[in-house]
Amino acid sequence: MSAGWLAIAGLGPGDEALVTPEVSDALAQATDVIGYIPYVARVAPRDGLALHASDNRVELDRATLALELAARGRRVVVVSSGDPGVFAMAAAVFEALEAGDASWRELDIRVLPGITAMLAAAARAGAPLGHDFCAINLSDNLKPRSVVERRVALAAEADFAIAFYNPRSRARPDGLGRVFDVLREVCGDARPVLFARAVTTPEESLRIVALPDARGEMADMRTMVIVGSSRTRVIERVGAPILYTPRWMPEGTP
């Protein structure tokens, strides 16, 4: 085995105070940092560090480059925002690993977790994911829309709180609106919806609306959408309300 290694690291939602020391240490030891342009821009340049920034939708090229560099003995960090294992680069690297050169399987590869967007958004609003929940990626270039809508309906039937990643983009502006339609059909009106945009950054904004009032246009590419379960509650107070889901369910719940 060469002295090279590959770390797939999560930078968290944006605030540098949410980057773990483990990730900071890996970046301090790296010879190469690879990732999507805005994430690589969060890494301070220094002598001896090569920054490889690339555009969106080239995840497999990025993963292959990372494996090749590590195999040549470089110390490589692939950066994702949030957590690299949640709709991010870790799976892409393992896809490339499985399809690629057999010798890559001997590489020293680690995944370094980070604060994923849904947990940062939940923390800013209270604790909407305090009971059972699920996470669904609405990026339908990776998944047929029928699968998305079926999953959403089953998740609502199971009464999960639901966190939606990548809720909206220019290529599919109406997907989120369709999801809200499905949710209104399956679970009625009683659920609160959180739109949490750019959490922990200077552009952060939070908005809570009732499900009947939720519209796709309330989200953009930087928004995390969390739909409460039937048990999720809103505590009104001076300033922002608190959104939370109790830990328990009453006896006699069907």
Site for its own copies in 189-208 (CB under 8 A): none
Of the candidate spans 18-26, 166-174, 186-194, 214-222, the one that interacts with its own copies by CB under 8 A turns out to be 18-26
Q: Judged by CB under 8 A, does residue 105 bind its own copies?
A: yes
| Least distance to its own copies, CB of residue 64, Å | 15
In angstroms, what CA-CA distances link 84 with 39, 90, 185, 188? Answer: 12, 5, 33, 34
The two most distant CA atoms of the chain are separated, in Å, by: 64
Q: Judged by CB under 8 A, does residue 176 bind its own copies?
A: no
| Least distance to its own copies, CB of residue 74, Å | 20
Of the candidate spans 28-36, 64-72, 77-85, 173-181, the one that interacts with its own copies by CB under 8 A turns out to be 77-85
The single residue among 51, 53, 123, 198 that binds its own copies, judged by CB under 8 A, is 123
Two tokens, residue 42: 């969060």
Q: Judged by CB under 8 A, does residue 132 bind its own copies?
A: yes
Strands 242-244 and 126-127: parallel
On the 0-12 / 13-18 / 19+ scale of CB atoms within 10 A, 139 is: middle
Residues 6+ apart with CB under 8 A from 176: 138, 164, 167, 168, 216, 219, 225
Of the candidate spans 34-42, 49-57, 109-117, 189-197, the one that interacts with its own copies by CB under 8 A turns out to be 109-117
Pick 157 or 217: Cβ nearer its own copies:
157
Pick 77 or 88: Cβ nearer its own copies:
88
Contact 113, 21 (CB under 8 A): no
